[in-house]
Amino acid sequence: MNITDITEQDEKSPLIMQRADPYVYYHKDGYYYFTASAPEYDRIELRRAWSVKALADAQPLTIWRKHAQGPMSWHIWAPELHYINGKWFIYFAAGQAEDPWYIRTWILENDSPDPFCGEWKEKGMLISEWDSFMLDTTVFENAGKWYAAWAQKSKERTENSCLYIAEMITPYTLKLPQTLLTRPEYDWECRGFKVNEGPSVLKRNGKIFLTYSASATDSTYCMGMLVADEKADLLNASSWKKESKPVFCTDEKAGIYGPGHNSFTTSRDGKEDYLIYHARPYAEVDLAFALYDPNRHTWVKRIRYDERGYPMFK
């Protein structure tokens, strides 16, 4: 194993402290790029390094700060960095100072080959089929088409958030209508709050694995998973099979509490897949203030696969 690869020892302690909702992207320039929610929820940072491990010591660069008022002025959450058709995009969630929970998805764009250079331009809000609480947007390509998946409060508003998918016309325009992928239904998805959020996509073994996070942001937080064939119609809800049990949850023995809101990346040779996720190192947290406890740290885990070719996260 190369010294830059992730070992079992690396999995036993946090990679980056006080960074929730972590996103790691391995680009063709050889860099691993990292972004996440800063504990102050007031800015978007990027850092990069030649290995996942080295991200721990990489110097963060603030590329955007929240507005003083109005849209994008509060709760700057869960940024993701994507490279689409020769341009860089960041999808992130934000509220506003006058209404902190008016959370919607917003987009930044940069046409510089180097995302640490150039200008990050605000491209506006991602518009879905109806206007409601919306966050944790991720995008991915399959069979030449780009898709967005995100969390949103349903029209019926009976849950805190469900997961939806839609094809993309442009990197900042959805092709509607959207498709419901999953809503909280099992006990492990409804502890504290009825939540499905934080979708992330892993493509391997002819399948598309879409993980997501469920329940409140305390030690009950956990990961679920949907599975579809990569040749299926991804906009048809019946193409997706939902696992009835969480695929990753609190591990007291390992000192990992409330794991979730993950992303995926690979080793440099592409042979290993890595789970990048956040978790706390302790269980005790006041649910009313859980989002403002800064100690959700970024962790990394090498993914193993079972006999079906499905990822194992435990």
Q: What is the pLDDT of residues 10-28, one digit of tens each?
A: 999 999 999 999 999 999 9
Where residue 5 falls among pLDDT bands split at 50, 70, 90? confident
Mean pLDDT of 137-164: 97
Q: Is 56 helix (H, G, I), strand (E, B) or coil?
A: helix
pLDDT of 171 higher than 90: yes
Q: What is the pLDDT at residue 288? A: 87
Q: What is the pTM of this model?
A: 0.97
Q: What is the pLDDT at residue 314? A: 86
- Residue 197: active-site member: yes
Q: What is the pLDDT at residue 2? A: 67
206, HSE (Cβ side, Cα atoms, 13 Å):
3
Q: What is the pLDDT at residue 3? A: 66
- Residue 233: active-site member: no
Q: What is the pLDDT at residue 263? A: 98
Where residue 92 falls among pLDDT bands split at 50, 70, 90? very high
Beta carbons within 8 Å of 142's beta carbon, 6+ residues apart: 203, 208, 230, 234
- Identified catalytic residue from 109, 197, 218, 273: 197
Where residue 1 falls among pLDDT bands split at 50, 70, 90? low
Beta carbons within 8 Å of 121's beta carbon, 6+ residues apart: 108, 109, 110
Nearest to 167 by CA among 186, 127, 139, 202: 139
Mean pLDDT of 200-220: 98
Q: What is the pLDDT at residue 96? A: 97
pLDDT of 205 higher than 80: yes
Are the CB atoms for 47 and 33 separated by under 8 Å? yes
Mean pLDDT of 62-83: 98
Where residue 291 falls among pLDDT bands split at 50, 70, 90? very high
How many CB atoms lie under 10 A from the CB of residue 86? Answer: 7
- What is the pLDDT of the chain when averaged over all its residues? 97
Mean pLDDT of 142-148: 97
Mean pLDDT of 239-260: 98
- Identified catalytic residue from 21, 109, 136, 273: 21
β-strand partners of 19: none
Instruction: Give the pair of three-digit tokens for residue 291.
Output: 């989002």
